[in-house]
Structure 1
Amino acid sequence: MNNSAMPTTAPGAVQSRPIARRTFQYLSIAAFALLLASCKDQSADVTPQVAAANPNGLVDNWILDNMREVYYWNDKIPANPDTTLAPDKFFDSILNKYDATSNPTGDRFSWIEESATELQASLSGETTTTGMEYTLYLRSAGSDNIIAQVLYVLPGSPAEKAGIKRGDIISKVNGQLLSRTNYVDLLYGTSTTFNFGLASVSNNTLVDTDVSKTVTATVFQENPVFLDSVYSVGGKTVGYLVYNQFVPGANNSTANEYDAQLDAIFGDFKAKGVNELVLDLRYNPGGYTSSSANLASLIGKGVGPGKLYFREEWNASITPLLQKEYGSSFFVQNFVTKAQNIGGNLSRLFVLTTDHTASASELIINGLRPYMTVTTIGTTTYGKNVGSITITDDTGKIKWGMQPIVFKSYNSANQSDYSTGFTPTIEVEEPLNLLPLGDVREAMLSTALAQISGTPGARTGVANANPLPAIGSSIQRKAGGAMMVKPMKALPL
């Protein structure tokens, strides 16, 4: 369970006008090095009297100058925003906010955090957590009571050590029944020790039990490579991968060990003659575009450095500057050469999806569909076709970090038509009784295997398998809940 505050922004480095220096980082794609040379440390220009009159001015102006430069919708920023507001409120006040009716193409994703250090750690999968993710449901339609159904538990985490497993249903926390009025405080409050009271399903009815598990959250590094298996089905050799976040390596690591782990898995798939692939991204909210490109390059059929994975569209004012400084290659991410690529043995790809499948996960679907048949199984994806960078102050004087949207992505067929998500080719909703991931009887995997074997079973096309109304998920709190981050290098002064 992720107990970090709900995020609001991300990293990079640029310098131009007299503002405090900043560092830009993209989650995915190669390295970035914005141009805009020399930027003066704005904090040196702020007199004590001015700072006392407006204690938020330094941070707010740092936010404003960065956003006016790189924000995708920079032409929508108010001309004279109120720089006396608290930084988080100021940031929110200048966004081009999404509205389903009046502004359906607006911003749903930019966020800011008071601690740049915590922001960057969370983007790499390091958080204070119990080590489990869950979906929240109303106990019944119209009820005020809530349950949390465990979706997965991280190996070696406090939750696993306490005996919690996928499918467990939490109805109480610290002796209190979860409800609309208390679940935020009980699950996401300041406490780090939880006594989870469990319920069970009996005759399609939820029944509270006397079983409880005590878990203390700790700082924990999640390995996003959750599970891989190989199955023999209908004369086919099927590779299966559960991948839960696009992260190249652990926080503060430069080894890209998680990308290397994927390379090794696909090397094994190739050695075993895998000729069908099921990619399980149902709980993957996104991450670094570089890791997305790495995975796509292991899968794609007939891909390589000469083939476009995706391209970026930036705002109109910064595009010509980037074009002049770096050329057109700045805006494109081609596939890369991978000796472990299994695309030559594949004619299609199956991707398991839910509304937690977002951003860099959707980039996989969009980027590969011009090159091979991509069949999605599950429920409609989140719908994020835009990407962000992380912006921090490299002087250390400003502690905030923000993650603004700075580009929109397009595949090689110039498609970016999934802002409302990818509708599944085959609809399958996860049931209330969850089987372990990788179990061939599990609802989504069994549907994929049935498609591969040519004998679609009863699960194919099943919708509304869970009658309880969902109201949220802990996955939404993971580093923004839906992220596509481009990694960028710090710019020279």
Structure 2
Amino acid sequence: MKKILYLTIIVTAGFLAACKKSSKTPVDTLPTRINHDELNRIKDSVYLFTKEAYLWYDAIPDMATFNPHSFAASTDVGELTSEVDALSQYKINPATSKPYEYYPSDPGTAKYSFIDDGTVSGELGGTNGDYGFSVLYQEKTDLRIKYVYPGSAADKAGVKRGYQITKINSRTDIDYDNSNGPNLTYVVNAIFNSKAVNLTLRRPDNTTFDVSLNAGNYTINPVLTYKTIDLGNDKKVGYIVFNTFTVPDNAGPQLLKAFNQFTTDKITDLVVDLRYNGGGSVATAQYLDDLIVPTAKNGTEMFTEYYNDKLQNDIYPMLSKKYKIDKGDFAPANNRANFAKVGTLDISRVFFIITGSTASASELTINNLRPHMDVRYIGSTSYGKPVGFFAIDIGQFQLYVPEFETKNSAGVGGYYAGMTPGTTDYPGKIDDDDVTKDFGDTTEVLLNHAINYIKRGVYDVAGPKVQSLSKSTTMTADQKRQMTLKLDEHLFKGMVGKKNLVLKELPRK
């Protein structure tokens, strides 16, 4: 299964949106096993907390039928993960006839829920400890760099978006096979589950070079680039690539800098590129919405979180033993956010570039704006994650299961299947990602669609197309989605909210 990044302040349990991360990480391999009886008590607690707080608790069988002690694995986290996976598969989504937590890349595992030992922290605060790049397959035989964070090991070595990877650790057999194939598994482990890697890269001019990278810490700038594109005829487009919703202290100044420039440049349209943004801080999502939303919408409802009926009716004996909770804390009226306009940019239309990597707080950001302005979608179907959770401390572990669903001011949410551009609910243009071009290149497929629409009112134009628009692909739509899910398993994605549950003080002798 996969795990979402959780940021905790002192001893608080933050509200997050669920997502997944690969279990093939150091956090999933504990050096020693804990006492058997203690682990069984933790399993019981996992069941009881889930039965109380889970959004879909009503489908979970009684404890004797479920039998928490029946799950076994080679690690403690593995056993608890198996239990959580099982708990996640009971509630069926009538729209799909599959579990709400159905994960197509690994059926039977949870799409959102997970168990963690508390070590996954830091990324949302703006610090990463990896190579600073990610990859995707443009075609089965074409593995590319999809982004590079400034200041990372990859950036310092001269790695750029769009460079083709021809060799990894002397291995040239890296073509895409399938989501569980040996080639893709090797690529994932070599790039995302290692501390050192050697790459051979091909630049756009067909020259090649070798790099040796060591994973290391660096400060994330979530705004990979921004620019104003002057289209003439009084049409100016603000374009921004926002790659992760780090906390406001990290992301806020970078976003404000970009939007202040857009305001100075008097842009008429905005393109927000969230194609690889898996989410993060809800506070930052709200801040981005406040920068985008029309001035007239200041003070109006943005979104509301809806918990299960037990929590809304203050029935939470397990939680109340551990946390300080006030009556009504889970009522919708106490979990509603309003717009608080930031800046003076005042536009009526926004284009979002999305892909299967667009998840969680990214989808929340988009959904919040739908009732208030003309929202357009370009790219491919997003991840589909309209739910969130708070971390529940159980021994040395933390349990994450969806406890609430988010809906915008029109009461619209439920995008479990993702947002698909070019459909009735999500007007725009569906097309494939184009990693052969750099961000902001106006011939890049997805940005080009937005520019065409702004200039001419249509996403495609007659006559010669840019190369990538006519480029054939050897991967089916399902293969692309499976590939995206597999290559994103290493990412910590989520919606970390501002509301916290505070642990009660333990009795002292």
Query: Shorter-chain TM-score category?
Result: 0.7 to 0.9
Q: Please identify, of 61-70 and 237-246, the stretch whose mean Cα deviation from structure 2 is larger.
A: 61-70
Q: Deviations over 1:126-172 (max 9, x none)?
A: 443111111146635xxxxxx53111111111111222211122232
Which residue type is aligned with residue 240 of structure 1? Y
Which residue does the alignment assign to 2:235? 236
1:331 aligns with 2:335: yes
In structure 2, the residue matched to 1:44 is: none
Per-residue deviation, 1:492: 5.0
The Cα offsets for residues 26-46 of structure 1, whole Å up to 9 and x where unpaired, read as 249xxxxxxxxxxxxxxxxxx
Cα deviation, residue 372, structure 1: 0.8
Query: TM-score normalized by structure 1?
Result: 0.78
Query: In structure 2, which of residues 268, 271, 278 is the aligned counterpart of residue 278 of structure 1?
Result: 271
Q: CA deviation at 1:280?
A: 0.8
Query: Structure 2: how far apart are the matches of 1:153 and 1:210?
Result: 18
* Greater Cα offset, 96-105 or 226-235: 96-105
Give structure 2 stretches of 5+ with no counterpart: 18-33, 72-78, 104-110, 176-180, 315-324, 422-427, 505-509
Task: Identify the residue that residue 320 of structure 1 maps to in structure 2.
Answer: 313
- TM-score, with length taken from structure 2: 0.75
Counterpart for residue 420 of structure 2: 423
Query: Cα distance, 1:297 vs. partner?
Result: 1.1
Matched residues in 1 for 2:222 and 2:445: separation? 22
Look up the SS of the partner of 1:89 in the other structure. Answer: helix
Instruction: After superposing the two structures, state which structure 1 stretch, 154-163 or 209-218, moved more.
Output: 209-218
Match of 1:408 among 405, 410, 414: 405
CA distance in structure 2 between the aligned counterparts of 1:415 and 1:385, rounded to whole angstroms: 10
How far apart are 1:211 and its partner, in Å? 3.7
Judging changes above 3 Å, is the alpha-carbon distance between structure 1 residues 347 and 99 closer, same or farther for their aligned structure 2 residues?
A: same
Match of 2:61 among 60, 69, 78: 78
CA-to-aligned-CA distance 1:328-385 (integer Å, 9 cap, x gap): 43221211232x141x3x1211111112122221222221111111111122222222
Give the conservation status (yes or no) of the 8 Å contact 1:315–1:407.
yes
2:310 partner SS:
coil
1:162 maps to: 157
Task: Rate the CA distance shift 1:347–1:161 in 2: closer, same or farther, 3 A.
Answer: same
Give, as a single letter, the amino acid of the residue that structure 1 aligns with 2:389. Answer: S
Inter-CA distance 107–25: structure 2 relative to 1 (3 Å threshold):
farther
Q: CA separation in 2, counterparts of 1:64 and 1:23?
A: 22
Question: What is the percent sequence identity of the aligned residues?
Answer: 27
Q: 1:301 — aligned with what? A: 294
8 Å CA contact retained: 1:349, 1:374: yes
Q: How does 1:393-404 map to 2 (within 5 A)?
A: 398-404=395-401
Question: Which of 466, 476, 489 matches 2:488?
Answer: 476
Measure the CA separation in 2 of the matches of 1:92 and 1:221: 33
Shift of 1:53: 4.8
**2:256 aligned residue:** 263
CA separation of 1:479/1:183 partners in 2, compared to 1, >3 Å: closer, same or farther? Answer: closer
Task: Give, in whole Å, the separation in 2 of the partners of 1:367 and 1:323.
Answer: 27
The alignment partner of 2:356 has SS state of coil
Asked if 1:7 corresponds to 2:6, the answer is no
SS in 2 for 1:56: helix
Distance change in 2, residues 1:195/1:429 (3 Å): same
Cα distance in 2 for residues equivalent to 1:186 and 1:378? 25
Letter matched to residue 325 of structure 1: G
Tell me what 2:80 maps to.
87
- Partner residue in 1 for 2:507: none
Distance apart, 1:54 and its partner CA: 2.2
Q: Deviations over 1:252-295 (max 9, x none)?
A: xxxx2312321232223223322211111111112222211111
Say if 2:445 and 2:469, in contact at 8 Å, map to a contact too.
Answer: no
Q: Look up the equivalent residue of 1:178 and give its one-letter code.
A: I
**What does 1:69-468 correspond to in 2, within 5 Å?**
69-80=52-63, 81-84=66-69, 85=71, 86-96=79-89, 102-106=97-101, 108=103, 109-118=111-120, 120-124=121-125, 126-136=127-137, 139=140, 147-176=142-171, 177-178=173-174, 180-188=181-189, 191-198=194-201, 211-234=209-232, 235-249=234-248, 256-302=249-295, 304=297, 306-321=299-314, 324-326=327-329, 328-338=332-342, 340-342=343-345, 344=346, 346-392=347-393, 398-424=395-421, 425-431=428-434, 434-454=436-456, 457=461, 465=471, 467-468=473-474
Distance 1:57 1:89 in 2: 13
* 8 Å CA contact 2:305, 2:332 repeated in 1: no
Larger RCO, structure (CA 8 Å, separation 6 or more): 1
Write the letter of the residue equivalent to 1:476. Answer: D
Secondary structure in 1 aligned to 2:188? helix
Partner of 1:374, secondary structure, is strand
- Answer yes or no: is the 8 Å Cα contact 2:88–2:113 preserved in 1: no
**Is the CA contact 1:12–1:488 (under 8 Å) kept in the aligned structure 2?**
no
Letter in 1 for 2:57: N
Return closer, same or farther for 1:113/1:479 CA change in 2, 3 Å cut-off.
Answer: farther
Deviations, residues 156-195 of structure 1 (Å, cap 9, x unaligned): 1111122221112223211112253144245325531111
Report how many aligned residue pairs link the two structures: 432
- Tell me the alpha carbon deviations over residues 280-327 of structure 1, each in whole angstroms, 9 at most, x when there is no partner: 111111222221111111111245553111112211110122894345
SS in 1 for 2:283: helix
How big is the shift at 1:247?
A: 1.7
Q: Deviations over 1:379-418 (max 9, x none)?
A: 222222222323345xxxx332333211111111111252
Query: Are residues 303 and 248 of structure 1, via their aligned partners in 2, closer, same or farther at CA, if it must alter by over 3 Å?
Result: farther
Establish whether residue 57 from structure 1 lines up as the match of residue 54 from structure 2: no
Looking at structure 2, the residues matched to 475 and 363 of structure 1 have their Cα atoms a distance apart, in angstroms, of 22
Secondary structure, counterpart of 1:325 in structure 2: coil
SS of match in other structure, 2:289? helix
Give the 3-state SS of the residue equivalent to 1:197 in structure 2: strand
Root mean square deviation, CA, Å: 3.3
Higher helix share: 2
Q: Kindly tell me: are residues 316 and 107 of structure 1, through their superposed partners in 2, closer, same or farther at Cα, counting changes over 3 Å?
A: farther
What is the alpha-carbon distance in structure 2 between the residues aligned to residue 200 and residue 271 of structure 1?
A: 35
Tell me, in whole angstroms, the C-alpha distance in 2 between the residues paired with 1:441 and 1:449: 9
